[in-house]
């Protein structure tokens, strides 16, 4: 695969926890405007790999780079605005949907743009009035959509998805698929851990991880 240094990659990276090797000698280049899906059995290291790329954990050995620079040379806030991470059971904070959608504006020292937030909710089939909804009133599917909107209000360079559609119904999945396809066409790089055949087929490349080793 022809690659460049514009986006995240790992080089001979490994990680161990309490002397148990989770990932070993992972070499992965992520080319510009990539759409990759990753599969593997439970415990094979899929989520660990995403967490490494997201800079949530540090490799025991090796280097993870973004735009040609090691993660350690990036300021954490700057890096995490460029490389965004979404999980199956997202954490929402505050009391309302608006509290969550205001957060990307706050960390950038910007005033909250209500119309922009309402438009983003509409993209995932949530009515704008849901801005005032309390977190406790949301279904699991609605929470997942709010979390995804929060990550995409300011488009990152790389979006890491860890089985985000596993517990969603077909209509919600379809909505998210269309949204991600739209942003991918605009240059968003997607790295998706999934077991859904339709999501695998939508990707440019499929990768398999087995017992801590990556296979093309």
CATH number of the structural domain spanning residue 202? 3.40.50.300
User: 209 in a domain, yes or no?
Assistant: yes
User: 104 in a domain, yes or no?
Assistant: no
User: How many separate helices (H) and strands (E) can be counted in the chain?
Assistant: 7, 10
User: 150 in a domain, yes or no?
Assistant: no
Residue 204: phi and psi, rounded to 5, are -80, -30
User: 49 in a domain, yes or no?
Assistant: yes
- Structural domain harbouring 55: 9-90+155-215
| CA gap 103, 166 in Å, rounded | 26
120 burial (CB, 10 Å; 0-12 / 13-18 / 19+) is: buried
pTM of the model: 0.84
121-145: average pLDDT: 91
Of the given ranges (37-41, 85-89, 144-148, 162-166), which has the lowest mean pLDDT?
37-41
Pairing outcome for strands 189-193 and 35-39: parallel
Q: Please provide the average confidence, as pLDDT, over all residues in the chain.
A: 82
User: 187 in a domain, yes or no?
Assistant: yes
pLDDT exceeds 60 at position 85: yes
- pLDDT score of 68: 81
User: 82 in a domain, yes or no?
Assistant: yes
User: 173 in a domain, yes or no?
Assistant: yes
Predicted confidence (pLDDT) per residue in 2-18, tens digit = 334 444 454 444 433 33
Predicted confidence (pLDDT) per residue in 154-185, tens digit = 999 999 999 998 878 888 888 888 889 899 99
- Structural domain count, the chain: 1
- Spatial neighbors of 56 by CB under 8 A, at least 6 apart, are 85
User: What's the token pair of residue 38?
Assistant: 């990753």
59-67: average pLDDT: 79
Q: Output the CA–CA distances (angstroms, integers) from residue 40 to 77, 129, 162, 181, 194, in the order listed.
A: 30, 39, 12, 23, 9
Q: Which residue has the higher pLDDT, 202 or 193?
A: 193
| CA gap 207, 191 in Å, rounded | 10
pLDDT exceeds 80 at position 113: yes
Return left, alpha or beta for 19; rule: phi > 0 is left, psi -120 to 50 is alpha, else beta: left
User: 207 in a domain, yes or no?
Assistant: yes
- pLDDT score of 211: 58
């Amino acid at each position: 695969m022809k690659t460049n240094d514009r986006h995240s990659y790992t080089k001979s990276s490994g990680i161990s926890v309490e002397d148990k090797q989770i990932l070993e000698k992972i070499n992965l280049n992520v080319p510009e405007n990539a759409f990759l899906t990753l599969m593997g059995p439970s415990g094979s290291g899929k989520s660990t790999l995403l967490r490494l790329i997201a800079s949530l954990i540090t490799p025991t050995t090796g280097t993870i780079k973004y735009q040609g620079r090691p993660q350690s040379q990036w300021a954490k806030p700057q890096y995490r605005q460029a490389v965004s991470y979404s999980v199956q059971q997202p954490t929402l904070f505050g009391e309302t949907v608006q509290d969550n959608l205001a957060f990307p504006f706050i960390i950038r020292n910007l005033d909250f743009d209500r119309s922009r937030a309402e438009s983003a909710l509409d993209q995932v089939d949530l009515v704008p009035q849901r801005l005032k909804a309390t977190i406790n009133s949301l279904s699991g599917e609605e929470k997942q959509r709010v979390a995804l909107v929060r990550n995409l209000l300011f488009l990152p360079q790389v979006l890491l998805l860890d089985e985000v559609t596993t517990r969603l119904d077909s209509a919600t999945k379809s909505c998210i698929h269309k949204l991600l396809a739209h942003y991918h066409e605009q240059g968003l790089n997607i790295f998706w851990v999934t077991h859904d055949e339709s999501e695998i087929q939508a990707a440019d490349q499929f990768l398999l991880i087995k017992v801590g080793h990556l296979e093309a």
